[in-house]
Amino acid sequence: MEPRSMQQPSEPNPVAPLPGSLAAQLEDGPLRRELGIAPDRKPAERPPSPHDRRLRFTGTGSAYFRVWVVQLLLTLLTLGVYSAWAKVRKARWFAQHTELDGDRFDFHGQPWRILAGRVVALALLAAWTWAFDIATWLGLAVLGLFCVLGPLLFASAQRFKLANTSWRGLHFGFDVPRRQLYVVCVPMLLLWTAGTVAQALGAEGWGLVAAGLLPVLGLPWAHARLKQMQHSHAEFGGQRFRYDPSAPEFYGLYAKGVALAVVGAIIAGVLAAVWAGYQTAAAAEAAGDALNVERQQRQALLGLLAGVLAALLMWLMAWPWFAARLQQIVWGHTHFGRLRFRGEMRGGALWGLVLRHMLGVLLTCGLWWPFAAVAIARYRVQSLVVLSDEPLAEMHAPAPAPREGRAAGDGAADFFGLDIGW
């Protein structure tokens, strides 16, 4: 027999604990594994806590309508210059009507530098639109400029939004190392522009197909990394948020979103075929009538309108579910100290909400827009729950040193559709 000190310890075989025993009540961890107790197959769901708090939105469509009308008229009278002030006023109104645990948020941003950001965005958009038509080298140079300025504008937008948002007197913040900013943002820009660049460089056949597939395969990964960077470098009261990796769930999100868009495209194709048949019959009826130019123009205009409605149908099929699932994934992976979050948006509910209010906007020639914006904002805000095992009033966070949020990037991000609102 070998000396006792030389014997190799044997691994205990995991055994299932008896129901109701003390061993069964142990959380999965080192002690449970040391005792040789098999872990639960599925972690028990967190029971509701009396300290969980749902965000509330107290704004009404009628109140926002008065704000919206004034901002719209001033923007039109100043040929768009006032839009920067309108954006800040809108952000402040929505923040001040959002509550958590009885306390309202607030927004303190100033609009002056948003104008500079929009000028930069307009210049970049114009350069990107015509650069490849002028010369290939110029298009590649503009792409390089996008890769240099784009990440900086994105970080500036996040910094402006968060640094100027407060709750209970403490401000949020955003601070990311520049190297990580480029590592995350540049691949997304390259994926987003891959098809356009390949076409401009004269790619054909399989090369063009590969350039089209590259964004499909890479954008979910890039989007997941972008959200991870956004949330893991956000701060509140000097304490940083955390974010768990979520790339596999983003691939599922994009797969179902594309499938829903395809369904919308099929429905739009059927409607387009019916419309084309109607146009053909009308053209045959009008053949030989040289004076029927007005009718032909009206048919062309209606055809254009049908195309816009088809695109709107594709968006309506995919976006509500995509937005609802995105909230669930992103906030489900976000932590703040001992706090966790739960997104409860549902695609079907958001779809019905968007459909009703979209019809209202169309029937009122746009005047229903403030009511639609408030209804959707209320649903989005009140679908977010803060999970806490202790009263939020007892949580303390050190106040960070005040930092000015630069607004130039916010104007550019808003121009390119990267606005991250309430």
What are the tens digits of pLDDT across the range 119-168? 888 888 888 889 998 999 999 999 999 999 999 989 998 999 999 999 99
Predicted confidence at residue 293, as pLDDT, reads 63
Q: In what order do the strands lie in the sheet with 98-100?
A: 56-57, 98-100, 103-107, 165-167, 170-174, 234-236, 239-240
Predicted confidence at residue 417, as pLDDT, reads 39
- Structure-model confidence comparison of residues 90 and 418, the more confident one: 90
- pLDDT greater than 80 at residue 317: yes
Predicted confidence at residue 286, as pLDDT, reads 55
Mean pLDDT calculated for residue range 168-183: 95
Predicted confidence at residue 120, as pLDDT, reads 83
Say whether 163 sits in a helix, a strand or coil. Answer: helix
d(CA 21, CA 145): 65
Please enumerate in sequence order all residues whose Cβ is within 8 A of that of 35, keeping only pairs 6 or more positions apart, or say none. Answer: 12, 23, 26
User: What is 304-351 written as a DSSP string?
Assistant: HHHHHHHHHHHHHHHHHHHHHHHHHHHHHTEEETTEEEEE---HHHHH
- pLDDT greater than 50 at residue 42: no
Return the closest-CA partner of residue 381 out of 52, 53, 48. 53
**Sign for the pseudo-dihedral over CA of 123, 125, 131, 133:** negative
% the chain with pLDDT above 70: 76
Return the closest-CA partner of residue 395 out of 345, 314, 336, 325. 336
**The most confident of 14-28, 199-213, 357-371, by mean pLDDT:** 357-371
- Structure-model confidence comparison of residues 279 and 57, the more confident one: 57
pLDDT band at residue 98 under the 50/70/90 scheme: very high
Within 13 A of 141's CA, how many CA atoms are on the CB side?
9
Mean pLDDT calculated for residue range 393-409: 56
Predicted confidence at residue 403, as pLDDT, reads 53
Contact 95, 72 (CB under 8 A): no
Predicted confidence at residue 35, as pLDDT, reads 53
- pLDDT greater than 50 at residue 246: yes
Tokens 């609102």 sit on residue: 421
Q: Which amino acid is at 3?
A: P
- Structure-model confidence comparison of residues 411 and 65, the more confident one: 65
d(CA 346, CA 379): 10
The predicted model scores a pTM of 0.78
Predicted confidence at residue 125, as pLDDT, reads 87
